[in-house]
Amino acid sequence: MASVKRIAVTGAAGQIGYSILPRIAAGEIFGPKTPVILQCLDLPVAMDALHGVRMELEDCNFPQLKGMVCTDDPKLAFEGVDLALLVGSTPRGPGMQRNDLLRVNGPIFVEQGQALQEVASKKVRVVVVGNPCNTNCWIAMSSAPKLPKKNFSAMTRLDHNRAASQLAMHAGVEYSQVKNVIIWGNHSNTQFPDWNHAVIAGKKAGKVLNDEQWLRGTFIQTVQERGAAVIKARGKSSALSAASSAIDHARLLMQGTREGEWTSMVVVSDGSYGVPKGLMCSFPVECEEGNWRIVKGLKFDDFSREKFQKSIDELVWERETVKPLLPGAAVAAAETVETGRSA
């Protein structure tokens, strides 16, 4: 039997946590033969609810689940973990602007980044789900300068899945027939869902659909605004689909993508595609054994470049907005990454 994997989940008593924990316990990330220990973090006021979730998981009698930790202390939650899913974040409240949301969440991810650096496995893989996930991930990464930057990623797989399903439904095919869509940029309504390199049943998506007006209009808008549409329909934000996509992200990261296929993932830029070095941006990536590499050499037309650039500009603005929240050492480390200087 494989060695046990310790997996931390923050915001574990919330809606996404409630949906994601049983799937992790069932072995959906590392595989059914790998035992797991769940190390769950939430706020002090959520401890009763979290212990209730623990009771339910115990009642499920998952053979892979070898233990649980339930705590409001990040250092206990992250102790020795191999994978950390940072799900918990403060949602946008009435009257809040995006810069307000960034400033509220900043201290959370500073603390979690510092705790991960101090107590997690040095090989830990960190996946940020809590929004605004690109910049929250940049904060956590910058607050843990002793951990490799490539250990950090954030989730745009939900947007990727949304884009693929829209193409499949418009083409009248099964979801599994759509491959290699791309989400470029930020997990926000500036993201660019790119169909230009996607295939449907092995053929170029644009040729299969032959509907440029829909692709440049309704398709992009639907993917960009799908989260708001879900809130309007059910009165709550996406939880089931977010949890499922986080599982997809982590499974592909740890077990690898199939040959000739990629996923969309927020990772630290190496300067590819004109994205400033050090920025946390969504790219097409291939994965293998916990590592990722950006797919290179894809082409943009003028329309696509304009859309992508808008999202890049937003990410730069977000990064500058949260820089004052970082400890001095973290700011220096972040600026080293951005400029390519030696530490």
What SS3 state is found at 93? Answer: coil
Question: According to DSSP H, which parts of 1-60 are helical?
Answer: 15-25, 47-60
Angle at 178 between CA 177 and CA 184, to 5 degrees: 170
Residue 162: partners with Cβ closer than 8 Å, 6 or more residues away: 193, 222, 223, 226, 241
The 10 Å CB-count burial string (b at 16+, else e) for 280-319 is bbbbbbbbeebebebbeebebeeebeebbbebbebbeebb
Q: Which two tokens stand for residue 187?
A: 């997990």
* Residue ranges with strand state E in 136-202: 152-154, 178-179, 182-184, 192-194, 199-200
Question: Out of 170, 187, 197, 249, which one is annotated catalytic?
Answer: 187
- Total Cβ atoms within 10 A of residue 252: 22
The question of whether 187 is a catalytic residue gets the answer yes
Per DSSP, the three-state class of 192 is strand
**Size of the chain in residues:** 343
Task: List residues bridging with 69 in a β-sheet.
Answer: 39
Q: What is the DSSP letter of 323?
A: G
Closest C-alpha to 238, from 252, 260, 218, 223: 223
Task: Write the DSSP symbol of residue 176.
Answer: G
The CA distance from 328 to 295, in Å, is 34
Q: Which residues are catalytic?
A: 187
